[in-house]
Amino acid sequence: MKRVFFFLSIFCWVTFSYSQQKKILNITKTSKAPKIDGILDDSAWKNIEIATDFVQYDPEMGVKAEDNKKTEVRITYNDQAIYIAAYLHDNPQDIFKVFSPRDDFGQADYFGVTFNPNNDAQNSIKFFVMSSGTQADIVGGSSGRRGGGPGPRGDRGWNAVWDSAVKHVDDGWIVEMKIPYAALRFSNQEDPVWGIQFFRKYRKDGLDYSWSPIDRTVGEQGIYDGELRGLKNISPPTRLSFYPFASYTAINQSGETVSNTGFGMDVKYGITESFTLDVTLIPDFSQAAFDKVELNLGPFEQRFDEQRQFFKEGVNLFSKGDLFYSRRIGNAPVGRYDIYDDLVDEIDEVEEVVDNPNSVKMLNAIKVSGRNKNGLGIGIFNAITEKTNATIKNTKYELDINDEKIDSTITYREQTTEPFTNYNIIVLDQRFNQNSSVSFVNTNVTRAGDFRDANSSALLLSLTDKTNTYRVSGQGKMSMINMDGGNSTGFDAGFEIGKVSGTYQYGLEGSFRDDKYDVNDFGFGARNNFKNLQGKFSYQIFEPFGIFNSLNVRTETQFNWRHSNNDFTGNRTSINVNTRTKNLMWMGGNITMLFGEQRDYFEPRDQENDRFFSFSNWIQGRTYLFTNSNKALSTSANFNYGRLFQKDIDSDISEYGFRLGPEFRFSDKLTIKYQINYQRKINDRGYVDNINDGEIIFGQRDVKTVENTITGTLNFNSLNSLALSFRNYWSTATYNENLYTLLEDGSLTTSTGHTMTNLDLDPNRNFNIWNLDLSYEWQFAPGSQLVALYRNQLFNSTNASRDSFCDSLKDLFDQDIQHTFSIKMVYFLDYNTIKGVLNKKDATAAIP
């Protein structure tokens, strides 16, 4: 019993310690709103409490700012908004003010504020202003930057409409902000206490400061928020806004131009103080960035990042359980390739596909998301895609007595490759004890007619103790596929337990997935049929020592089995070292080792017959360096090398590569970055074909990849920018003439005598892609923007794998280039503003 009381007293002490660290700021209401101009001469800023005494939390903790770099923050409010003024003292020559697009922290000092109306360390809304005037806003995630990452974490896709101004003065810079209540989420509150935190970034020296002290070694930063008191009788406005848009797109290829004019609208509506409805009506994604397509020789599909704004904003909640992959919506039709299996190919009748759309049009989509004051997060997403048909040309011949074609009749028919389809996901996520949660996720894909339907569910649990030291988590998932041939149900489960804070962190985790688990109708799952057990340990130094600001050493060891037959498939041990130096360089590396025999059941593309490819003793290492990005010239670089140390093999198998990315900042407005990525695989071995009803053919190949990218941004100011994005990706795979047969024990043999010649196949590849985007963006009013885009793109894929880079580029330019021009204007309309204007007109009209 004494031991129980001892632990309870420790628990209460820790909880009390956290509450004692919370700073308090009292806010005063103003009768006259300040003008947002960066000049602090408004009466609203006089005789009110000042938040000051900022302390450093990265790289050191608890260090007070120097007197000539102190921060003074004033905050007031009225019935429409909260207003913030920050006087950020500094030497003018030390302030970095490089321009960047919205939500890009770039190379600029910044000031930020976090509001948490529920004061629960979970529902954070953050607003940042860079010294260049650029705005950023983030929902969720950590309240600030942790561990030196690239800016604060959270959902940057969310964009609120608020006002700010920056003015540089002789002893620093000034920020003024107006945050309308429509940009926040809170209930009617008579005398509330909000969570609040202020942040300041000194870019030159890489220093991060906060108003309320933060301990980076323990817990998420939201638990260190201070308290905002003094708000009286504030009411949330109707959160209703409209984003009507108009667009024009013209595509020219092969001398023909196809144009399209589109009109549509996005709508945001605050259903309650906690939950928001987003609707896109007649969506337009013509200006989405291009995908970074690669030559894929492996057994799994390539995963692409989401480029469409509607699917990038406010989707963090939907990512729980890894059942949601938004690129499935509007992807290739589910039956796009099935139509080739049913084509007629007879002497008197031939069919060919003349039109087979590679994507499905989305009709509309809605999502509801948010989290209430009790910590319950709810997410509902629904999207509908239209019916998609392929066109098949049928040619029926009339034959003479010698079966010679003497006449023909041509008809066309359509075949559905994707029916009318509904995508739906529901997420319930209950948080408690600050960093613990339990979640339920369900996704459903319903296709009209006889096409397959899919349903997946997940139950997730994460428990963290009050001191944020230890965490236990677990998950269980189930997938169901409904097809004409019957139903298929699969399962996935896992657990993790460990220490998650402090200098020494460690843990144990395990997972399994059976061979029927399939979430790829709405999610993304590359592998199934496995069991894993992994142990990990890390050592971290959070504060500066020697030439370093921080150090992280992590090691992991994993053992793998196949779920269906308990076959041991291999192991993996890795050691990772990451450091940040005092001169703001990042460097580190890792080594990965696969000892003994490894069995790959995926490369043979024949899991049903338990076929596997075997290799042994693979070791690979990588090292990287990022120089100080504050310099006008900076660069990133890494080098990797791997080799197979297998004794009973007839050729050396290895790979190596490097990536180099110099970046030059010509001025605060113009930055250009070039990057080259070069990779080689020598005597790599992989799948080629399956012949004779089960004989699996492998080949030995040399793979070479060269990728060149150029990105540049010219920011005329914080509201006007010109951006360039260019990518040329070239990859070749050259196979040896002699081919291998995969044996039952996973080894390869050439004794069957197969060659590319006698099998009449050519797996060689020369894959070349060119993409160039040039765009101009102008934010001409709060929340409103005009974007003009020019794009050209080329693609070529042949078997001429021995061609040089120059020859391949010449062949690429012989292809028909596609030119795209589009212009899109989005205008922001706020219900409260419209209502106020109409009321004013009515009042004016009523005056005799």
Q: Which residue carries 């699969």 as its tokens?
A: 490
The per-type count for the chain, helices as H runs and strands as E runs, is: 4, 44
Return phi, psi of residue 340, to 5°: -70, -20
| SS3 label, residue 667 | coil
Q: Quickly state the pLDDT bin for 146 (edges 50, 70, 90).
A: very low
Is residue 557 a contact partner of residue 591, using CB atoms and an 8 Å limit? no
- Structural domain range at position 188: 24-229
pLDDT at res. 217: 87
Residue 578, pLDDT above cutoff 80 = yes
Neighbours of 848 (CB within 10 A): 2
**636 found inside a domain:** no
Tally of domains in the chain: 1
Q: How many CB atoms lie within 10 A of CB 701?
A: 22
**pLDDT mean over 589-611:** 94
36-58 core/surface letters (b: 16 or more CB in 10 A; e: else): bebebebebbeebeebeebbbbb
pLDDT digit string, tens, across residues 381-423: 999 999 999 999 999 999 888 888 888 899 999 999 999 999 9
The answer on pLDDT for 152 being more than 80 is no
Q: Is residue 104 part of a domain?
A: yes
Condensed to tens digits (0 to 9), the pLDDT of residues 232-271 reads 988 888 999 999 999 999 999 988 999 999 999 999 999 9
* 59 prior amide bond cis, ω within 30: yes
Give the pLDDT score at 151: 64
**Residue 752 — φ and ψ, nearest 5°?**
-75, -10
Q: pLDDT-based confidence at 721, cuts 50/70/90?
A: very high
HEC secondary structure over 262-283: EEEEEEEEECCCCEEEEEEECC
pLDDT digits (tens, 9 = 90+) for 155-178: 777 888 999 999 999 999 999 999
Residue 238 lies in a domain: no
pLDDT digits (tens, 9 = 90+) for 786-809: 999 999 999 999 999 999 999 999
| Per-residue confidence (pLDDT) for residue 843, from 0 to 100 | 56
Which tokens go with 339?
A: 């139509």
- pLDDT, mean of residues 310-329: 90
* pLDDT of residue 7 exceeding 60: no
User: Looking at residue 145, what is its pLDDT?
Assistant: 39
The answer to whether residue 260 sits within a structural domain is: no
| pLDDT exceeds cutoff 80 at 78 | yes
329 CB-side CA count, 13 A = 28
Please tell me the least confidently modeled range out of 118-127, 577-586, 754-763.
118-127
Q: What is the pLDDT of residue 6?
A: 37
Q: What are phi and psi of 715, to 5 degrees?
A: -100, 110
Closest to 723 measured CA to CA, from 106, 279, 118, 27: 106
Q: DSSP label at 358?
A: S
For 493-522, what is the mean pLDDT?
96
pLDDT bucket at 842, cuts 50 / 70 / 90: low
CATH number of the CATH domain containing 74: 2.60.40.1190
User: 589 falls in which pLDDT band (50, 70, 90)?
Assistant: very high
Is residue 791 in some structural domain?
Answer: no
In a domain, 432, yes or no: no
Q: Using pLDDT thresholds of 50, 70 and 90, give the confidence band for residue 1.
A: very low
Give the residue, 774 or 8, on which the prediction is more confident. 774
- Give the other-Cβ count within 10 Å of 647's Cβ: 6
pLDDT digits (tens, 9 = 90+) for 204-214: 999 999 999 99
User: pLDDT at position 692, please?
Assistant: 84
Sequence-separated (6 or more) residues with CB below 8 Å from residue 770: 727, 728, 792, 793, 794, 795, 812
| Among the ranges given (137-141, 723-727, 746-750), the one the predictor scored with the smallest mean pLDDT | 137-141
When pLDDT is averaged across residues 112-129 and rounded to a whole number, the result is 89
pLDDT at 16 over 70: no
Residue 17 has pLDDT above 50, yes or no: no
42 part of a folded domain: yes
Report d(CA 296, CA 302) in Å as an integer. Answer: 7
Across the chain, what does the average pLDDT equal? Answer: 91
Distance of CA 582 to the CA centre of its chain: 29
186 in a structural domain: yes
